[in-house]
């Protein structure tokens, strides 16, 4: 039986014909039972506060009553018929709901609050159903209207659906015993590995020792100023993981096209300068080097997406598909500030970046894989300290651009710093050799220590290497059969001569599309 309301009462849905004549999902008796129980049972509000909010109630009167209860609960004040009535009076809503008699009727309808959590879940489910109905109705109306672009509409639909799911889906708590068992299994698995690492190997030995490998569900931020080698580092790491350790890796490149990215990978692997890769002006020796080494990349489980201005919702969809269909275990995003949150409204760019950062961490937890996101630093690095001081230009956490939420959400925050770039010299003020030195600074590490890792940066190939490996000497080339012009296998050709004959089709005749 529904309580009689005052003349000020207006139903939430004014025209049920908008829903095809059907009544929206609701249960007013259960709503009133929940409100009555909250005013009778001392601890009832603490049970349902995470499940319900004022808009969860279909009846506006019930919604206003719960809003008053919510304010009392937040202020840790007693919740009963008298305090709720007084709070409604302070809010100016007492007459709107029909007066104190309505509050007293709510308590008279309930004998016990024993089932308040079960009843609250019914109210929450009805609200979620109404949200989905409203969402689908709005989207279908816009889809019939040809004024709306379908791609924009799809992004809006994904955004709103994601927002609804985040607001309503709650995860239950877990007793510690099964979690301990899972942790012990991970420790045992790490002990049984030859590397002794519990996470994914990056190929940079000192970094792997510091992090024990990239850990599942971690969000790793790698930040630096332009020209420090952010993309070069993640490409070197992706090559190590996909080729050397056969780990499926996905790269979302918002800054460069897939061909540009692969050209840099070819330069990295084949040890050929980027300008030569772009111009194609290779000597016979270099053609042979390209032909023999590029085969390392051809069957690598490396997946590239170069969608510009990628939204966080598109990323979630694509990442799930990559994990499901290609068993991807590591995701790289180049770079975070080029992403957007289409379909959601924000007061500032800082709020949008905060939302993107938070969503990336949620995605890493959902997929249970590490996600690396590159980030820009602000210009304060450039203006700080003296130009001749090696350490004055070292980045710090406060240099992260556009949002402090990046620092808060990340499990690991790293910086790339090359003293040689700022000093414009092969030695520092103490005379130490810094040629090719790249300092990989782990500035935040949620589950371990922070430290600096020395690496070697070979700018001619845009490649990062382990510092202890030392400068590598390019292998001596053997004669290129592709360029052979005589019985000497082509060795009589000048080492500096450009390729001027034969075929550069080192993939062979095939109808299959090239991997680039």
pLDDT greater than 70 at residue 488: no
Specify whether 91 is located in the same domain as 204. Answer: no
pLDDT at 63: 92
Instruction: Specify the pLDDT at position 143.
Output: 87
**Pair (142, 239) in one structural domain:** no
Q: Provide the pLDDT for residue 2.
A: 39
Alpha-carbon dihedral sign for residues 341, 372, 275, 420: positive
Q: Report if residue 273 sits inside a domain.
A: yes
Residues 6+ apart with CB under 8 A from 498: 281, 282, 283
Contact 278, 265 (CB under 8 A): no
Q: Does residue 435 surpass a pLDDT of 90?
A: no
Last residue of a domain, one of 146, 167, 188: 167
How many Cβ atoms from other residues are within 10 Å of residue 428's Cβ? 17
Region 4-23: mean pLDDT is 50
Q: Is the pLDDT higher at 509 or at 239?
A: 239
137 assigned to some structural domain: yes
Q: Say what the pLDDT of residue 470 is.
A: 62
pLDDT at 385: 63
pLDDT at 229: 84
Q: Is residue 493 a contact partner of residue 482, using CB atoms and an 8 Å limit?
A: no
Cα-based distances in Å from 66 to 2, 43, 78, 120, 337: 17, 15, 14, 12, 40
Identify the bridge partners of residue 221 per DSSP, sorted by sequence position: 373, 413
Nearest partner of 52 among 66, 38, 64, judged by Cα: 66
Helix 258-270 crosses helix 284-293 at what angle (to 10 degrees)? 110
The CATH number given to whatever domain includes residue 236 is 3.40.50.300
Q: Tell me the mean pLDDT in the region 423-442.
A: 75
Label residue 174 by pLDDT band (50, 70, 90): low
475 lies in a domain? Answer: no
Tell me which of 14-28, 199-213, 305-319, 444-458 is least confident.
14-28
Split at pLDDT 50, 70, 90, the class of 511 is very low
Say whether both 305 and 205 belong to one domain: yes
Taking CA atoms, 316 is separated from 65, 153, 353, 430, in Å, by: 38, 17, 16, 49
R_g (Cα) of the chain, nearest Å: 31
Residue 193 tokens read as: 């590995």
pLDDT higher than 70, residue 171: no
Residue 485 falls inside a structural domain:
no
Q: Are residues 207 and 116 in the same domain?
A: no
| CATH at residue 125 | 1.10.860.10
Is 333 in contact with 318 (CB distance < 8 Å)?
Answer: no
Does residue 381 share a domain with residue 239? yes
pLDDT in tens, 31-58: 999 999 898 888 888 888 878 889 899 9
- Range with the largest mean pLDDT of 118-127, 265-274, 371-380, 500-509: 118-127
Q: Which structural domain, as residue segments, surrounds residue 120?
A: 28-167
- CA 211 to CA 410: how far, in whole Å? 14
What is the mean predicted confidence (pLDDT) over 443-470? Answer: 84
pLDDT for res 1:
37
CA nearest neighbour of 68 among 50, 83, 57, 55: 83
Specify the DSSP element, H or E, that contains 189.
helix 176-192
Q: Chain-centre distance of CA 213, in angstroms?
A: 19
Residue 349, domain member (yes or no): yes
Same domain, 146 and 220: no
Beta-bridge partners for 251: 304, 332
Tell which residue, 93, 334, 136, has the closest CA to residue 226: 334
Alpha helix (H) residue ranges in 388-503? 405-409, 419-423
pLDDT at 5 over 60: no
Q: Calculate mean pLDDT across residues 242-263.
A: 87
Domain count, the chain: 2
pLDDT at position 370 over 90: yes
Asked if residue 249 is part of any domain, the answer here is yes
The answer to whether residues 324 and 460 belong to one domain is yes
Q: DSSP assignment, residue 458?
A: E
**The CA-based dihedral angle spanning residues 383, 387, 390, 393, taken in that order and rounded to the nearest 10 degrees:** 10
Residues with catalytic annotation? 255
> What are the pLDDT digits (tens) for 403-430?
667 878 889 999 888 877 777 766 766 6
**Whether residue 373 has pLDDT greater than 70:** yes
Q: Residue 502 falls within a domain, yes or no?
A: no
Does residue 104 register a pLDDT over 50?
yes
* Residue 251 and residue 390 in one domain: yes
- Domain shared by 132 and 207, yes or no: no
Residue 265's Cβ-side half-sphere holds a number of Cα atoms within 13 Å equal to 27
State the alpha helices, DSSP H only, in 368-484: 380-383, 405-409, 419-423
Predicted local distance difference test score (pLDDT) of residue 345: 63
Residue 285 Cα to chain centre, angstroms: 43
Residue 10, pLDDT score: 41
Residue 168 has pLDDT above 70, yes or no: no
Residue 237 scores a pLDDT above 70: yes
Q: Specify the range with the lowest mean pLDDT, choosing from 62-66, 136-140, 147-151, 331-335.
A: 147-151
Whether residues 115 and 262 share a domain: the answer is no
Cis peptide bond N-terminal to 335, omega within 30: yes
219 and 78 within one domain: no
Pairing between β-strand 249-253 and β-strand 302-305 as defined by DSSP bridges: parallel
Arithmetic mean of pLDDT, 372-390: 72
DSSP codes joined into one string, 192-254: HSSS--SSB--S-HHHHHHHTSBPTT-EEEEEE-TTS-HHHHHHHHHHIIIIIS---EEEEES
What would the mean pLDDT of 311-331 be, rounded to a whole number? Answer: 86
Domain boundary among 446, 466, 486: 466
CA 15 – CA 137 distance, rounded (Å): 14
pLDDT higher than threshold 60 for residue 395: yes
489 pLDDT exceeds 50? no
In a domain, 415, yes or no: yes
149 and 206 co-located in one domain: no
């Amino acid at each position: 039986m529904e309580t009689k309301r005052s003349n000020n009462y207006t139903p939430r849905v004014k025209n049920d014909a908008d829903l095809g004549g059907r009544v929206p999902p609701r249960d007013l008796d259960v709503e009133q039972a929940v409100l009555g129980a909250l005013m009778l049972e001392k601890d009832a509000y603490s049970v349902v506060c995470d499940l319900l909010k004022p808009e969860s109630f279909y009846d506006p009167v019930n919604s206003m009553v719960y809003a008053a209860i919510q304010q009392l609960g937040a202020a840790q004040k007693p919740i009963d018929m008298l305090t709720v009535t007084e709070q409604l009076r302070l809010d100016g809503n007492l007459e709107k709901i029909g007066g104190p008699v309505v509050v007293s009727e709510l308590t008279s309808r309930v004998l016990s609050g024993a089932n308040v959590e079960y009843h609250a879940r019914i109210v929450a489910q009805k609200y979620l159903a109404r949200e989905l109905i409203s969402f689908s109705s709005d989207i279908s109306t816009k889809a019939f209207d040809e004024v709306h672009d379908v791609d924009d509409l799809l992004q809006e639909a994904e955004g709103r659906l994601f927002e609804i799911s985040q607001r309503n889906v709650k995860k239950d708590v877990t007793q510690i015993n099964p979690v301990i068992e899972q942790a012990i299994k991970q420790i045992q698995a790490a002990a049984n590995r030859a590397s002794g690492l519990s996470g994914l190997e990056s190929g940079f030995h000192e970094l792997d020792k510091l992090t024990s490998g990239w850990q599942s569900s971690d969000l790793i931020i790698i930040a630096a100023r332009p020209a420090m080698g952010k993309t070069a580092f993640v490409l070197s790491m992706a090559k190590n993981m996909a080729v050397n350790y056969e780990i499926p890796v996905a790269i979302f490149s918002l800054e460069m096209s897939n061909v540009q990215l692969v050209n840099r990978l070819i330069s990295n692997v084949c040890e050929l300068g980027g300008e030569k890769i772009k111009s194609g002006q290779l000597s016979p020796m270099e053609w042979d080097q390209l032909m023999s080494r590029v085969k390392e990349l051809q069957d690598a489980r490396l997946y590239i997406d170069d969608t510009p201005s990628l939204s966080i919702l598109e990323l979630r969809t694509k990442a799930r598909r990559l994990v499901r269909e290609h068993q991807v275990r590591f995701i790289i995003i180049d770079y975070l500030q080029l992403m957007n949150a289409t379909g959601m409204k924000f007061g500032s760019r800082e709020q949008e970046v905060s939302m993107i950062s938070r969503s990336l961490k949620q995605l890493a937890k959902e997929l249970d894989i590490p996600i690396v996101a590159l980030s820009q630093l602000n210009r304060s690095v450039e203006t700080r300290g003296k130009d001749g001081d090696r350490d004055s230009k070292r980045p710090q956490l406060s240099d992260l651009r556009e949002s402090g939420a990046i620092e808060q959400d990340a499990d690991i925050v790293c910086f790339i710093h090359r003293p040689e770039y700022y000093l414009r010299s092969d030695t520092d003020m103490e005379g130490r050799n810094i040629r090719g030195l790249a300092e990989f600074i782990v500035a935040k590490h949620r589950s371990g220590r922070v430290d600096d890792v020395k690496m070697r940066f070979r700018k001619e190939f845009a490649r990062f290497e382990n510092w202890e490996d030392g400068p590598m000497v390019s292998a001596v080339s053997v004669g290129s059969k592709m360029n052979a012009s005589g019985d000497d296998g082509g060795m009589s050709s000048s080492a500096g001569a450009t390729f001027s004959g034969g075929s550069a089709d080192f993939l062979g005749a095939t109808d299959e599309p090239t991997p680039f």
